Chain A
């Protein structure tokens, strides 16, 4: 019956509805307008959103304060991108000129200045139809550490070097809370062999009571954030991963503490990703709208799952065969590919499958003693009992590691 349900769902949910051509045309038109607004300056090579923060000079251990004449000032850079309002903001009291440089790998990154505020740009940024007018902007200069000029935006080599510049906030994992979640973007240009990036994101000043950072990696993917920085879950502090091979600059931004607003900061973070509490509330409301029979069914399902969850916690390699029965035809040996950094596995009947990073797999199965690992479980009715279906990864005494489905009936 499971297979039939899968088949029905796969057939009924085949993605077969195409949007109107007019709708696609509308998206392309909007994209063109945005590109014209920003990208023309760079011959269309980059059209992006921009951002920043009000910060003060802080020289880290690896940082150097360079003479300001070396680089364009933030006002000059803002004028280069035809943003007179932003240039004015960088002249204002709230702006900070920093000029701190850090050199890692092949690059030297210099944080030149930052400013935050409402309506401080000539180019409106919107997200999901909502105008974002309370923003932070920063200016970074990126150079080759060996002094060779950075390729111009019109050069074919320009796209060969990509960077990710992102603010991070103490207490929030940078892999999840970064320039992307903060509705960020940038505009770039190259002048005299220096690549300037005017970045922007939602205003960060509300977080001024904690450490706020600006990181720059020489890889535009978020993977570089995971690899380049270390998040200390105990203190919430973010530091450079010293063993990262490449550029992973990290500037600490001492924001104006008087601008800190704990409530606003919390509300902002909650708006990015719904919390468990919000999800629970949404679930509760969804349940309220269901017919009583379905509501009871879901609540009963929850109770059953909780029961199975408690049962699963009692399982060990010594009692698994006593408490559960292996479902025939499901056990399959896991044979990791030594050349891959990912381990795929599936039960012999292909009903359950998954994968995990090789590092995690090795960590999980460190040592050579028999052990089990619960990969997942489900609960269902079994008369006056609850039936548990449990996916177990197991290492036997002979070293084989398998995955199989086990069953148990719980009173």
Chain B
């Protein structure tokens, strides 16, 4: 893949991939790192994916991001055994949403932002395996089959995780749902 082709690939998938990295990691610094490494790791394969009309580069990028994230989490877990530290920003915190969080004078928009924040917070609070599935399904709009391929798990497991995640979210967002 030439640098020009990589640039085109970044333009095409930057928002989808970066949003996913940000929601997955919960902090901008980690999202930046994950996003960058995903493109660099995926570079070679992307070329072949673009040459294959049946392939889906976005799914591949997302699968690389998930794999890198899991590897990182494992390494972090080892490090924390030696020197425990808290380095995560609070998911859904002001810093995280500074760009997306609109400051608007109208009451409706403020209420809407608050509603979106509550939903994002509820998603951030999900156990990771449910969170990943929810992000890939609702944010990246992958089908159950695509999700199964990206996560290397059976479609039945995807459905079951989605079901459990929705169940948890329903309880946490009860007030919004009955508004």
Seen from chain A, the residues whose Cβ lies within 8 Å of a Cβ on chain B are 1-2, 4-6, 8-20, 23-24, 26-28, 30-32, 34-35, 44, 47-49, 127-129, 159, 162, 164, 176, 180, 185, 220-221, 223, 271, 273-274, 278-279, 282-283, 286-287, 290, 294, 297-298, 301, 305, 353-356, 376-380
Within 8 Å of chain A (Cβ to Cβ): is B55? yes
Selected from A1, A44, A159, A378, the residue in CB contact (under 8 A) with B160 is A378
Contact A354 B145 (CB under 8 A): yes
List chain A residues, Cβ under 8 A from B15. Answer: 15-18
Interface size of B by CB at 8 A reads 73
List chain A residues, Cβ under 8 A from B19. Answer: 13-17
Question: Which partner residue on chain B sits nearest A8 by CB separation?
Answer: B119
Nearest-neighbour CB distance to chain A for B155, whole angstroms, equals 7
A13 with B139, Cβ < 8 A, contacts A162-B51, A376-B156 known: yes
Give CA–CA (A290, B72) in the complex, Å. Answer: 21
Selected from A14, A24, A164, A298, the residue in CB contact (under 8 A) with B127 is A298
A162 with B48, Cβ < 8 A, contacts A13-B123, A31-B3 known: yes
Contact B173 A8 (CB under 8 A): yes
Within 8 Å of chain A (Cβ to Cβ): is B22? yes
Give CA–CA (A298, B45) in the complex, Å. Answer: 38
List chain B residues, Cβ under 8 A from A128. Answer: 37, 41, 68, 71-72
What would 12 more interface pairs be, CB under 8 Å, given A15-B140, A24-B7, A44-B2?
Answer: A5-B166, A5-B177, A8-B177, A11-B119, A15-B139, A17-B19, A30-B36, A31-B39, A32-B3, A220-B51, A220-B52, A286-B127
Contact A19 B18 (CB under 8 A): yes
A5 with B173, Cβ < 8 A, contacts A28-B3, A274-B70 known: yes
List chain A residues, Cβ under 8 A from B164. Answer: 298, 301, 305
Give CA–CA (A20, B114) in the complex, Å. Answer: 25
List chain B residues, Cβ under 8 A from A47. Answer: 1
Selected from A4, A15, A26, the residue in CB contact (under 8 A) with B36 is A26
Instruction: Give 26 A-B contacts (CB < 8 Å), ordered by A residue.
Output: A2-B166, A5-B166, A8-B119, A9-B138, A12-B123, A13-B139, A15-B19, A15-B20, A18-B99, A19-B18, A28-B6, A31-B3, A44-B2, A49-B44, A128-B37, A128-B41, A128-B68, A159-B51, A220-B51, A223-B52, A273-B152, A278-B74, A301-B167, A305-B160, A305-B164, A376-B160
Within 8 Å of chain A (Cβ to Cβ): is B79? no
Seen from chain B, the residues whose Cβ lies within 8 Å of a Cβ on chain A are 1-3, 6-7, 10, 14-16, 18-20, 22-23, 32-33, 35-37, 39-41, 43-45, 48-49, 51-52, 54-55, 67-68, 70-74, 99-100, 115-116, 119-120, 123, 127-129, 134-135, 138-140, 143-145, 152, 155-156, 159-160, 163-164, 166-171, 173, 176-178
